[in-house]
Amino acid sequence: MAELDLGEYRRQVALVPQDVFLFSGDVWDNIRMWNGGLGKEEAERAAKLVGVHDYILRLPEGYETDVKERGMRISVGERQLLSLARAAAADPKIVILDEATAHVDSHTEALVQKAMEKVMAGRTTIAIAHRLSTIRNADRVLVIHEGKVVEEGTVEELLAKKGLFWALWQLQFAGARDSPR
């Protein structure tokens, strides 16, 4: 039995958590944290990919702005976009999105959604979400209730079943003129 190289495994996975943690230091360091050998050009490319580059340029010292401990100088939405830039810069095979849109307003959610689509492209993605708009393009959805998988399928299959997923969809999107699909 082959042994798993834990360091190599970790380099293949990127996590975008609900509560993004930014470290004391500048924006460069916070984007490149998963890869010390990553150059500024790659970090900037990742920031542009997720749409946070222009925001960074508006910071007092651009990419060299110290974000302070836990990113106190930066809004929740911008921290989320920086976390997505961090994930893009890591260029992982697997992306884990843990409630990545939970603490953002509707406008920022749209920006984060667009950025998530770019980061997820060509990668295996595990998305943990209560906001169903986050998983609208998922190939496979697992509905977990009280710790157990109770439904599984595509969004369309689950809506056709009219089970728990359908009920949650109705609660979130009832009265909406445009479905998030």
Residue 59 contacts residue 26 (beta carbons within 8 Å): no
pLDDT at 178 over 80: no
CA atoms of 7 and 9, how far apart (whole Å): 5
145 falls within a domain: no
Residue 38 contacts residue 32 (beta carbons within 8 Å): yes
What is the model's pLDDT at position 175?
Answer: 58
pLDDT at 162 over 80: yes
Span 46-90, pLDDT tens digits: 999 999 999 999 999 999 999 887 777 788 888 889 999 999 998
Q: Residue 2 has which token pair? A: 């082959």
164 falls within a domain: no
* CATH number of 44's domain: 3.40.50.300
176 falls within a domain: no
158 falls within a domain: no
With pLDDT > 90 as the criterion, what percentage of the chain qualifies?
45
Q: Residue 1 has which token pair? A: 């039995």
Collect all residues with Cβ–Cβ distance below 8 Å to 107 and sequence separation of at least 6. Answer: none
81 falls within a domain: yes
Span 165-175, pLDDT tens digits: 999 999 988 75
- Kind and range of the H or E element at 124? strand 124-128
Predicted TM-score (pTM) of this structure: 0.83
Which residue has 């490149």 as its token pair?
32
CA atoms of 180 and 178, how far apart (whole Å): 6
How many domains in the chain?
1
For 150, the 3-state DSSP assignment is: strand
The torsion angles phi and psi of 3, rounded to 5 degrees, stand at: -90, 145
CA atoms of 127 and 116, how far apart (whole Å): 10
pLDDT at 177 over 70: no
SS3 sequence, 56-113? Answer: HHHCCCHHHCECCHHHCCCCHHHHHHHHHHHHHHHCCCEEEEECCCCCCCHHHHHHHH
With pLDDT > 70 as the criterion, what percentage of the chain qualifies?
94
What is the model's pLDDT at position 94?
Answer: 94
Residue 90 contacts residue 34 (beta carbons within 8 Å): yes
Q: Which domain holds residue 33?
A: 12-138
